[in-house]
Amino acid sequence: MNDVVKPVELSGRCLCGAVTVTATVTNPILRACHCEMCQQQTSSVFVNIQTDQDSTNVNGPIKIYKSSDWAERAFCEVCGSTLWYGTAHDGARNLAAGLFENAGGAKMALAYFTDQCPQGYALSGDHEKLTRQQTLAKFAPDQGEKK
Ligand SMILES: [Zn+2]
């Protein structure tokens, strides 16, 4: 019996198609961020898909905005589509779920900064929900805000 989970290769693209992306996904989960920076960048909530480490390939006219000393946000230079939220210390790219059809078939697993979500909407579902304080404790127990 073979119970090994097989990685799935996903292909995606931005709104205009100038940027194409491929990634391998073994554990297809979605993570949402309600922080103020993600609200400003995406108009609501940034949802990304967990991809296998170093499996992402992104090609096309990419612009990178360094949003802090430790993070960057990338977007298509032509159409402005959000591409990823990346962290400097490990080079991780959290790819926008919307680049992939049906969000890669992944399920919402985790939401960050839930107490900063605007009062007018919320994500339903039984995913794990972390407040700002819980989010910061998870990523930067000693250093404060890590966005
Ligand atoms: Zn584009």
- Can you give the pLDDT at residue 5? 80
Q: What is the distance in A from the centroid of ligand 1 to the CA of 84?
A: 13
Q: What is the pLDDT of residues 105-118, one digit of tens each?
A: 999 999 999 999 99
Handedness of CA 146, 81, 99, 66 (dihedral sign): negative
Mapped onto helix, strand or coil, the DSSP state of residue 74 is strand
Q: What is the distance in A from the centroid of ligand 1 to the CA of 98?
A: 12
Q: What is the distance in A from the centroid of ligand 1 to the CA of 13?
A: 8
Which one-letter DSSP state was computed for residue 136?
Answer: H
Domains with residue ranges and CATH for the chain:
8-139 (2.170.150.70)
Across the chain, mean pLDDT equals 92
Q: What is the pLDDT of residues 125-139, one digit of tens each?
A: 999 999 999 999 988
- Can you give the pLDDT at residue 139? 82
Residue 18's CB: how many other CB atoms inside 10 A? 16
Q: What is the distance in A from the centroid of ligand 1 to the CA of 62?
A: 9
- Can you give the pLDDT at residue 94? 96
Q: What is the distance in A from the centroid of ligand 1 to the CA of 82?
A: 9
Residue 24: how many CA atoms within 13 Å on its side-chain side? Answer: 8
Report residue 4's pLDDT band, with 50, 70 and 90 as the boundaries. confident
Q: What is the distance in A from the centroid of ligand 1 to the CA of 12?
A: 11
Residue 75 has pLDDT above 90, yes or no: yes
pTM, entire model: 0.89
Residue 146 has pLDDT above 60, yes or no: no
Q: What is the distance in A from the centroid of ligand 1 to the CA of 11?
A: 15
Q: What is the pLDDT of residues 81-104, one digit of tens each?
A: 999 999 988 889 999 999 999 999
Q: What is the distance in A from the centroid of ligand 1 to the CA of 61?
A: 8
CA distance 147 to 87: 9
